Structure 1
Amino acid sequence: MNIAFPLRFDATGRTATCDDARHIRDMIEVFLFTAPGERVNRPDFGSGLLQMTFAPNSPELAAALHYTIRAGLDRWLGDLIEVRSLEVSGDDAQVLVDIAYAVRRTGAIVETRFDRRLS
């Protein structure tokens, strides 16, 4: 079992745990919504996704963001997952990331959406 994210306690007062599938999803979420430089010992960890949300929208920005996220996922989680598809979109004050990935250990294909409301 893995420690659940965000860190919390379960009904028995112990540190909450989660299965491997949920742990991988949590690690992807941490990577996506962490800004580079936010981690003291890993200054290049993070996607910078939230910093790009207020930049002028353009195909070039979308391509750069897609490349940055894809490269980061391959670097930091490449031993656990293989990214099959990735789509990043913004809607007013909300960022949406749709990702499909294969879990390397089991071969399971997972499709999920991550979202953040900016306010």
Structure 2
Amino acid sequence: MDKDTEQSYLGKGWSFPPVFDRHRREVNMVMDEKDIEQSLNILLSTRPGERVMQPSFGCNLDIMLFEPITTSLITFVKDLIKKSILFYEARIDANKIEINVENIESGLILIEIDYTIRSTNSRFNFVYPFYTEEGVNQGIILRNSGFDR
């Protein structure tokens, strides 16, 4: 079975952002841990109401844009993220969610999610950069924490 037709136990989906292969005339696909990573990116960057067929899908992180960063807001946002993951990313358990505001002066808030993939019991750390100002060189950081099985 070649890589294009192989089945994935964690899922298979379009790459995000979508990349189209002109020669094969199809969209590039991602599988397994990469699919979960990109699903988390989509979940955290989608506002509820943006998807017509799933109007409650997403995580409303935009509430942080004009609010002062307080302990109450951070606790609220952590709960918002945890609930979004619980409802829309059933393949993982969120172990710990941290909001890093060390670079708030430059308009950057890092959302660090330590999670375990349920079916493999592998732990990963996902860092989502949330920009309160126009972002440059945006990227996602995913690290395997080394606590597999």
**Pair in the same fold by TM > 0.5:** yes
Residues 50-93 of structure 1 deviation map (CA, whole Å, 9 limit, x = unaligned): 3313212211111111111111111111x200111111234231
Tell me the TM-score normalised to structure 2 length. Answer: 0.71
Matches within 5 A, 1:12-27: 12-13=23-24, 14-27=26-39
1:76 aligns with 2:103: no
Q: In the alignment, what sits opposite 2:114?
A: 100
**Are 2:111 and 2:130, in contact at CA under 8 Å, matched by a contact in 1?**
no
SS in 2 for 1:25: helix
Q: In the alignment, what sits opposite 1:62?
A: 74
Q: In the alignment, what sits opposite 2:65?
A: 53
Moved over 4 A (4+): 10-13
The structure number with the bigger radius of gyration is 2
Structure with more helix by fraction: 1
CA distance in 2, matches of 1:61, 1:26: 26
- Kindly tell me the number of residue pairs found equivalent between the two proteins: 118
CA distance in 1, matches of 2:109, 2:14: 26
Stretches of structure 1 that go unaligned for 5 or more consecutive residues are: none
Q: Deviation of residue 11 (structure 1)?
A: 7.7
Tell me the TM-score normalised to structure 1 length. Answer: 0.87
1:86 aligns with 2:100: no
CA RMSD, 1 decimal: 1.8
Q: In the alignment, what sits opposite 1:6?
A: 17
Stretches of structure 2 that go unaligned for 5 or more consecutive residues are: 1-11, 135-149
**Are 2:117 and 2:123, in contact at CA under 8 Å, matched by a contact in 1?**
yes
